Chain A
């Protein structure tokens, strides 16, 4: 029988990344495509003790329904940490445990977006957020960004031109895909502007703890006086992603609405998962684990940047992130990175072409590199292979006949 799907399914397509990730699972492939944390830092041994203790001491509670808001000790830990590390002033009562940050994004879409509403986002922006909001059929408007964050004049122009702006989605720390971090001044200007326009802001902060150097900057949430900022945080990048435990910090009345909607979505996040995490936090020091991850990623970034400086032709520019997991490469405008990827895959090296990070499309001369998962020798080797392909592509495009052929 031909089933008539909802209209929103027309816009949901299998993503580029998903298709690329399938190819990159082959062991001979050097993949800079994923966004995964490095599994060698998962606390497997510790988790054995945690499992035993959670089920012995937590007992039956660990397997029962629990409240939609989440496990209280975990919410307390999160609030305390946000307040000490990010300068926020949140209370545990305003923390909702979600099944991954992805769910936080979906819940926000569910309470704010009607079909045709406008979502403002950075250009480029995180693909997963676009996917989550897409289900509510909004219009995405990209706001140009520079090395300091969203360009304020451009943002204001869009706010003035559109009456249906419902939310602004941003990743101010070590953005996915660009690796950029907003400056303090830009954060302050941004908050001043959203305060005047009173538009809710979704501050996605999965990478904030992975700062390699420089001073940590206050979160937008910490600069918010009006309860406009909803902040999303996660254990996926600093602990492990399989647990699907993340959180959302929001003020009234957004908080209450999100809780209501979460109840209809999955009642609550896995009780056992939440209690295992809480037990881990009680038995061990997560900061040690984070420090270990940070050190490893810093070295890998250094190796990658050094290799790129050596191997990439001078026409190719890229960001040098102070933290996080990604860096962002720009090629001359006429080179399409999907074509470059095809050639790279033939040489067993992969990345994600940048086109998918622009919700309205049209920009094909960028790509994203992940440096967190590959060991250092493989990073050097992979970058050398990409460098060779880039040199070829540039040489061909310089010769007019071949330029036409490659387009």
Chain B
């Protein structure tokens, strides 16, 4: 029993007893029919006057929470139905029925962004999508039709939770060709990277557990952590990614369940964590015994500069869980991705996956396996890499030509995004409003921060829009930014501090 009395509190002692008992009943610790301790016993246990307990019980009785029965003492009352049988049902108390914290979740940002891509009148620089015009439709059609003959009904059946063996083997061979040794047993097929994140969180995080993220970070990850009721601890990132020098201090004070990082072509900043920082990060993780979740969907999309080994490749202590995707190089609609984890962790992930959705779409997995083993993947990668490099250069040139002074942007060596920092006094809300008018969608920076954003920035995707759209979109956007900066009144509105609430 946990009724605590705080004598320093301004709340009268009998009210404190009422509150204590009320929460015991609400929590289900005391169920209907439970006999409350006799007044004298409780008074002695709490070190209070018997009259105080008497008053508390009287109040609980008045609230209908307890009932007094001759010979049985005071018992917790049975709950009553909410609505009368005859009457129309009362308003359903959904807020009490929903899980704690659910109401605080952010808007379905990604869903809104995706729906924008369906509109012809908006230039889509917001969403991280691959270019649709290069999809290898003919190869896929042949593979899919052929599979039904070659494999037969098995491609329509349930498949193992860990994934179709042919696909796990194909991924393992694909990695081996790149010099990475990863046996199929350490690979788990997921329904996309997002599920990988959800799964890791489910296996490692209890409500209230701390999780370290770099800032800015992938907004979809923040959403998963929030929903798991994790305490998100942001560590700043600069143009070279996570500030590992600042991480150490955090790890000394907290014991996070894991460190979530996107070290290669980061989303949203495009940054690549240099080799020394990667080693430093792993050294800290090992010293403080904290697992690292490496989100790695963009690695293969390098346009220039030398490759840097992934954290997973550098890991000798078995503490890196890495998340991978086919959505960025190939196509996202299949919802098939994969993750790599040390075997004991992989076992737990597979177990948790059973309750989640059993396994990923079977024909989709077979299709990807064939796509990889027949060499289509590498051919396709070559094609899109060339095209994305051109688009990136075009976007950078457009920015150089049209951006007003005070706007700074990253020059990513790969990936999907340019992170564009705006002058601190440029009101992002004004730009968003303008963007709708000029027909350009972009991702505003704030959702990429766990708390208050520390920089005024936007994220631009350069892979999905066509070359013409890209040039036109950036030009319009920068013209709008310049116009806002030239309106002293408009920018003054945000520079004037917090307006009073009236």
Binding site for B on A (CB under 8 A): 1-9, 12-15, 18, 36, 39-40, 42, 44-45, 47-48, 51-52, 55-56, 59-68, 98-100, 102-103, 105-106, 110-116, 118, 128, 131-132, 134-136, 139, 159-164, 166, 192, 195-198, 200, 225-228, 240-244, 253-254, 257, 259-261, 263-273, 276
Contact = CB atoms under 8 A, between A and B. Distances in A.
Given A102-B355, A263-B108, A2 B289 contact: yes
Nearest to B141: A55
Contacts of A266: 191-192, 194-195, 198, 335, 357
Contacts of A44: 148, 152-153, 156
B404 to A, nearest CB: 33
B31 A5 contact: no
A42 B209 CA distance: 46
Contacts of B28: 116, 118, 139, 162-164
A387 to B, nearest CB: 30
Q: Which 9 A-B pairs have the closest CB atoms?
A: A242-B362, A271-B333, A63-B331, A240-B156, A196-B81, A160-B78, A103-B357, A161-B32, A131-B355
Given A226-B92, A243-B363, A260-B105, A63 B358 contact: no
A241 B92 contact: no
B145 A52 contact: yes
Interface residues of B, number: 99
Interface in B51-74: none
B348 A5 contact: yes
Contact of B93 (A118, A198, A271): A198
Interface string B314-336: 00011100000001001111111
B383 to A, nearest CB: 15
Nearest to A276: B363
Given A6-B204, A198-B90, A266-B198, 5 more contacts: A1-B319, A60-B135, A160-B80, A242-B362, A264-B223
Contacts of B94: 253-254
B82 A198 contact: yes
A273 to B, nearest CB: 5
B426 interface: no
Nearest to A115: B207
Nearest to A271: B333
A8 B220 contact: no
A67 B352 contact: no
23 contacts: A5-B348, A44-B148, A51-B145, A63-B331, A63-B333, A68-B108, A98-B357, A102-B355, A102-B358, A103-B356, A103-B357, A111-B98, A112-B98, A163-B31, A163-B79, A164-B26, A195-B89, A244-B361, A263-B223, A267-B332, A270-B361, A270-B364, A271-B334
A101 to B, nearest CB: 9
Interface in B72-130: 78-85, 89-90, 92-94, 97-100, 102, 105, 108, 110-111, 114-115, 117, 127, 129
A64 B90 CA distance: 44
A197 B97 CA distance: 12
Interface in B129-165: 129, 132-133, 135, 137, 140-141, 144-145, 148-149, 152-159
B155 A242 contact: yes
Contacts of B363: 242-243, 272-273, 276
Interface of B: 25-28, 31-33, 78-85, 89-90, 92-94, 97-100, 102, 105, 108, 110-111, 114-115, 117, 127, 129, 132-133, 135, 137, 140-141, 144-145, 148-149, 152-159, 191-192, 194-195, 198, 202-207, 209, 220, 223-224, 227, 257, 286, 289, 291, 317-319, 327, 330-336, 344-345, 348, 351-352, 354-364
B89 A225 contact: yes
Given A6-B204, A243-B362, A59 B137 contact: yes
Contacts of B158: 36, 241-242
A288 B116 CA distance: 39
A2 B291 CA distance: 10
Given A36-B157, A163-B79, A273-B361, A6 B202 contact: yes
A1 B289 contact: yes
Contact of B361 (A228, A242, A261, A264): A242
A65 B157 contact: no
Nearest to A100: B357
A155 to B, nearest CB: 12
Contacts of B157: 36, 39, 42, 240-242
A8 B319 CA distance: 21
Contacts of B361: 99, 242-244, 269-270, 272-273
A154 to B, nearest CB: 14
Contacts of A198: 82-83, 89-90, 92-93
A330 B149 CA distance: 44
A268 B360 CA distance: 12
Given A8-B206, A161-B78, A196-B82, A114 B99 contact: yes
A152 to B, nearest CB: 13
Nearest to B336: A270
A171 B315 CA distance: 47
B194 A160 contact: no
B195 A196 contact: no
A106 B317 CA distance: 33
A244 B333 CA distance: 14
